[in-house]
């Protein structure tokens, strides 16, 4: 028999209530479980944000900006410092190249015009700032008893390379193999450092007019700058004896392309103020001033003077010293790149040594030289490193074997401007930099020790006063 209808109704109601309770219990358990999961992830994120290394990464991921400027072009009179001719080992025909250019001397130095840049995934700022009228020697430390700083996560790693041009035989090679060919053997070296600086010894333009009375006149494609930016270059010096090979038009185009590809510049500009103004770059909370000067100027009309476009020259070092002193007041680290010396000569001349010491005395923390197309030694002066010539880097290849040797000069600097110096040997092949290995690496480091009185290089290329 079935129970009466009234009893069945009561039982059905009891079953429904039981099911409802079960559903509520299940929902409550699910809500509590979801809440616990959310709480777990929230605590984890808080701990990650509190990690100082994570904070450092976030802080360093600021956008980079670059500025450019343009001005007038006038003619002015030359300086008269010394000799009237300059010889060059730069060419693109594969022969032993020798250039005769009208210059006030056989040696040279650089100073800077500044731009800012959005640099190749390295996340810090580079800005162009006018110089002020303050002065300071800015010297820190002494040569006697000085020790190399130990590298830390807060140190800035800077790679310096020598002369770069993409003209003539180099251009032919790159048209065939691609414009990334010059840097294909570097790996991520320039992408993983904090700053990569080279000497751009060519105008970058599709127009311009060849300079007269020069044996070798360079002109490089804008594709080259795109490749440099992709390889990790952040800044270039323009104070040299080729940047006006295509006239003021070529210089204007070069400045525009540098801005387009996010590469800061210094050492040349549309007037004197621009040419001597440093590029300022931010890295890991450190403000870095980058200046360039040349003591190799083919013609007096190449010198930036008043409203005339040109290079920052330093036959008379007064302007260079003043700019360094002013940069010292604004920056944690002051870098000077100098175009100077005699080509294919492996020892610095008196002008190089004198100017290098003047630059350090004025407040430079690193002085890096170029133009001889061969390597020269380094010096440790008043606790500061001077590299007299970095040689060629991406260049044509002459029959002078010493020009086939080059190196990356790597500095690690702390915020108090104490730097170490390391040499990484490379071969300057035609249009390409190739790492030296094994015996070749060892021999080049031994050669650098011989070229650097009072300095010893260990097996890893690290320099130290002996």
Cα–Cα distances in angstroms (integers) from residue 209 to residues 88, 203, 219, 304, in the given order:
21, 11, 10, 19
Q: How far apart are CA 196 and CA 359, in angstroms?
A: 21
6 has a pLDDT exceeding 90: no
34 has a pLDDT exceeding 50: yes
Which tens digit of pLDDT belongs to each residue from 290-315?
999 999 999 999 999 999 999 999 99
Least confident of 93-107, 120-134, 178-192, 352-366: 93-107
56 has a pLDDT exceeding 50: no
333 has a pLDDT exceeding 70: yes
Name the pLDDT band for 55 (thresholds 50, 70, 90). Answer: very low
Average pLDDT of the segment spanning 196-202: 98
Relative to beta strand 156-164, strand 392-394 is parallel
Decide if 457 contacts 423 (C-beta within 8 A): yes
**How many whole angstroms from its chain centre is CA 226?**
15
Alpha helix segments (H runs only) across 399-459: 438-451
Coil, helix or strand at residue 165: coil
Which tens digit of pLDDT belongs to each residue from 256-297?
999 999 999 999 999 999 999 999 999 999 999 999 999 999
Q: How far apart are CA 180 and CA 128, in angstroms?
A: 28
Q: How far apart are CA 209 and CA 182, in angstroms?
A: 26
Average pLDDT of the segment spanning 179-204: 98
Average pLDDT of the segment spanning 12-41: 75
- The token pair at 466 is 């002996």
Which DSSP symbol is given to 148? P
For residue 87, list its beta bridge partners: 100
Which residues, in sequence order, are CB contacts of 461 under 8 Å at separation 6+?
407, 422, 423, 424, 425, 445
**In the chain, where are the structural domains located?**
156-465
Identify the CATH assignment for 156-465 out of 3.60.21.10, 3.40.50.1980, 3.40.640.10, 3.40.50.2000. Answer: 3.60.21.10
Give the number of C-alpha atoms closer than 13 A to the C-alpha of residue 54, restricted to the C-beta side. 7
Task: Look at residue 14 in the predicted model and tell me its pLDDT.
Answer: 73
Which tens digit of pLDDT belongs to each residue from 201-217?
999 999 999 999 898 99
Which tens digit of pLDDT belongs to each residue from 428-459?
999 999 999 999 999 999 999 999 999 999 99
Average pLDDT of the segment spanning 392-415: 97
The structure's pTM equals 0.73
5 has a pLDDT exceeding 90: no
164 has a pLDDT exceeding 70: yes
Which tens digit of pLDDT belongs to each residue from 94-139?
333 333 333 333 333 333 333 333 344 575 555 544 433 333 333 3
Residue that wins the pLDDT comparison between 19 and 69? 19
| Mean residue pLDDT across the chain | 81
Q: How far apart are CA 177 and CA 166, in angstroms?
A: 13
Q: How far apart are CA 29 and CA 109, in angstroms?
A: 76
Which DSSP symbol is given to 375? B
């Amino acid at each position: 028999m079935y129970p009466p209808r009234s009893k069945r109704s009561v039982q059905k109601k009891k079953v429904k209530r039981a099911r409802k309770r079960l559903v509520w219990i299940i929902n409550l358990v699910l809500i509590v479980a979801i809440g616990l999961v959310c709480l777990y992830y929230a605590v984890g994120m808080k701990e990650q944000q509190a990690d100082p290394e994570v904070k450092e990464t976030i802080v360093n991921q600021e956008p980079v900006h670059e500025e450019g400027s343009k001005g007038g072009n006038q003619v002015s009179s030359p300086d008269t410092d010394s000799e009237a001719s300059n010889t060059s080992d730069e060419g693109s025909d594969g022969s032993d190249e020798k250039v005769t250019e009208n210059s006030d001397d056989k040696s040279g130095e650089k100073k800077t015009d500044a731009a800012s840049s959005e640099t190749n995934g390295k996340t810090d700022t580079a800005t162009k700032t006018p110089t002020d009228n303050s002065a300071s020697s800015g010297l820190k430390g002494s040569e006697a008893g000085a020790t190399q700083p130990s590298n830390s996560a807060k140190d800035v790693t800077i790679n310096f390379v020598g002369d770069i041009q993409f003209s003539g035989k180099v251009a032919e090679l790159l048209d065939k193999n691609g414009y990334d060919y010059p840097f294909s053997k570097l790996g991520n070296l320039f992408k993983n450092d904090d700053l990569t600086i080279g000497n751009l010894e060519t105008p970058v333009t599709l127009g311009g007019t060849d300079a007269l009375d020069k044996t070798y006149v360079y002109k490089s494609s804008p594709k080259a700058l795109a490749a440099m930016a992709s390889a990790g270059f952040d800044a270039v010096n323009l104070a040299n004896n080729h940047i006006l090979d295509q006239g003021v038009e070529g210089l204007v185009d070069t400045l525009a392309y540098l801005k387009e590809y996010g590469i800061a510049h210094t050492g040349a500009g549309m007037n004197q103020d621009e040419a001597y103004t440093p590029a300022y770059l931010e890295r890991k909370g450190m403000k870095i001033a980058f200046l360039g000067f040349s003591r190799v100027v083919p013609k007096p009309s190449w010198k930036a003077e008043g409203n005339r476009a040109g290079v920052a020259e330093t036959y008379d070092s007064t302007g260079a010293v003043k700019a360094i002193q002013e940069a010292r007041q604004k920056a944690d680290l002051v870098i000077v790149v100098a175009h100077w010396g005699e080509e294919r000569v492996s020892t610095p001349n008196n002008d190089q040594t004198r100017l290098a010491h003047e630059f350090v005395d004025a407040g430079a923390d690193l002085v890096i030289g170029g133009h001889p197309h061969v390597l020269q030694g380094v010096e440790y002066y008043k606790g500061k490193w001077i590299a007299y010539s970095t040689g060629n880097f991406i260049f044509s290849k002459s029959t002078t074997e010493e020009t086939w040797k080059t190196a990356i000069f790597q500095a690690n600097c702390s915020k108090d401007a104490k730097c170490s110096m390391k040499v990484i040997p490379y071969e300057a092949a035609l249009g390409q930099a190739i790492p030296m290995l094994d015996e070749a690496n060892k021999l080049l480091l031994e050669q650098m020790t011989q070229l650097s009185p009072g300095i010893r290089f260990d097996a890893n290329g690290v320099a130290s006063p002996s």
